[in-house]
Chains A and B, each alone.
Chain A
């Protein structure tokens, strides 16, 4: 994805004047903030769980080499394959090779932010493969040819009307020419269209909310069940994940799951929590014949070295953006890259460099709500302040050079 973070100020003006977007963003309050508050209030242990979550992630990052090795051993023992990618390009090449080896014509995808980060869809499509996003939000955006604007609710900026228009335009080819206007009818039509695509797909690609060193499993957490069909029906299952996603044991995973659903969507648990480990076993009547995990570094190992290691604890719940007044006024696209909101400011700055993202760290009121709700206690305002300092240093150096 071509970043547009350098246009932050201009894009923000446009977003503030966009009526549809403002209506959509107003729903964040009930849909995310209130729901989270209610479910967190119900759990007496929530604050202790946050501290524990922070400790588990810190422990794992401190021994990342050990846990990655153990994880790789466990996957390999089950007949799966672990691939290592230094950067996005390498990751895409590995995945393309696997798909070509499988003679894939059609690839179905569960929601994966890492696949957005590495720009996977373009690479597969350029090689002539049909790539279909199966998470409803991602699917809507694929039709609209837009990037996600939220890491949990990617199409949060789209109105029902806009979705109706998209379906009319793109579903006529499958015999659905009537314009659907209610939520149940829209969801049903998408279900019918996508079901066919699931059945045809040669390769399924999912993310991994966590990777478990003990068992060699990847966990996916969904409500739709799209990720499950993506990793059950096709003959090849590929998992894309960052190297920081590993955690030690099933028990540690449980501790993190208790935080994730509550923080992300205000659910104690999502409809489906699925652990996939290796390819199908002898005698199994379904499941993939091949299981691949592609572990991406990009800037992760660099972040491990300094203060930004804290950011690597992130479990991609989206709570920080839901509670951010800047995100709440301008939405996700304005940030100009894959990850929006407070966590996105940090990750974009790390991945794209301070020059491209120079306005992002200033798009923050330092009110601290993001850090208060973060389930793994990432001190986001501190990290943003640090980015501002670095920027100032760069600027001074630059003024010095140019005299």
Chain B
């Protein structure tokens, strides 16, 4: 429908009281796009990890801190056991080869409807908001973040950034360009649509647990 496009642009030009932009105007807008002006960032002074943990708690996510990679499996196991969950997991590709105990059933790939628990890594995590940022890829399909009832995300200390803008700085450096989906996850799925009463587990995970590796 190119004529609708033409007409909408001519309506916009008319409303703005001008024709297309001059090359100079265009150039200055191109420059703004290439290097966005520095915008206001909410300041916080407490320690980055502490702030991240505090924010996660305020959005009903749970958080545990472990010393090193070797402790990930036991942290995940403890979490599963505390919730009385079976040791069946769908995991992101990068986590498949951790030293999972023999009795664990582990598969990777996209999540299916009957997958109850997923374990993923992340791209970065944002202390400002307590958000874990995941990028879609063959190794980390988006369904892992939404179909299972329980989502556990592994965040390494090197992945923790202060503000959301810091996540974009890293994103812009990705050689493959922007992925199909960027998820900022800040807590479990919830709804207040019945009488304004907050209830977790609307359509996505009922619980969101972060294992933070120092």
Contacts and interface: CB of A to CB of B under 8 A. Distances in A.
Given A43-B42, A254-B164, A277-B178, A232 B143 contact: yes
- Of B16, B17, B145, B195, the most chain A CB neighbours within 10 A belong to B195
A184 interface: yes
Interface in A267-314: 267-281, 283-287, 295, 297, 301-305, 309
- Of A188, A232, A257, A270, the most chain B CB neighbours within 10 A belong to A232
Interface stretch (A221-229, A330-338, A352-360, A375-383): A221-229
B4 A286 contact: no
B107 interface: no
Interface string B108-146: 011001000000000000000111000011100111011
Contacts of B15: 301-305, 309
Contacts of B43: 44-45
A268 B127 CA distance: 12
Contacts of B67: none
B21 A65 contact: yes
B23 interface: no
Contacts of A195: 113, 203
A90 B185 CA distance: 35
B143 A286 contact: yes
Contacts of B159: none
Given A62-B16, A64-B16, A250-B171, A269 B186 contact: yes
Contact of A225 (B42, B192, B203): B203
Given A187-B201, A224-B191, A228-B146, A301 B11 contact: yes
Interface string B1-43: 1001101110111111100110001100100110010011011
A58 to B, nearest CB: 12
B16 A187 contact: no
Interface string A207-245: 000000111110000011110110111000000000100
A316 B79 CA distance: 39
B36 A183 contact: no
A70 B146 contact: no
A9 interface: no
Interface string A70-108: 100000001000011110001000100000000000000
Given A160-B195, A252-B39, A191 B136 contact: no
B42 A258 contact: yes
- Of A90, A183, A194, the most chain B CB neighbours within 10 A belong to A183
A171 B41 CA distance: 47
Given A268-B55, A270-B186, A27 B196 contact: yes
A28 to B, nearest CB: 8
A45 B25 CA distance: 31
A135 B194 CA distance: 12
A90 B189 contact: no
A224 B202 contact: yes
A257 B165 CA distance: 12
A184 B194 CA distance: 9
B190 A271 contact: yes
A85 B3 CA distance: 10
Contacts of A350: none
Contacts of B136: 280-281, 284, 286-287
A248 interface: yes
A271 B59 CA distance: 8
A134 B184 CA distance: 20
A180 B138 CA distance: 40
A77 to B, nearest CB: 9
A281 B178 CA distance: 10
B183 interface: yes
A285 to B, nearest CB: 4
Contacts of B39: 52, 251-252, 254-255
A155 interface: yes
B29 A272 contact: no
B131 A269 contact: yes
Contacts of A274: 181-184
22 contacts: A49-B40, A63-B21, A65-B20, A140-B193, A229-B147, A232-B143, A248-B36, A251-B168, A267-B59, A269-B59, A269-B186, A271-B188, A275-B182, A277-B178, A283-B137, A283-B138, A284-B180, A286-B136, A286-B141, A286-B142, A304-B16, A305-B15
Given A84-B8, A183-B194, 15 more contacts: A27-B196, A30-B196, A153-B196, A159-B195, A198-B203, A224-B202, A229-B146, A232-B146, A250-B165, A255-B40, A272-B204, A276-B181, A278-B180, A281-B176, A283-B137
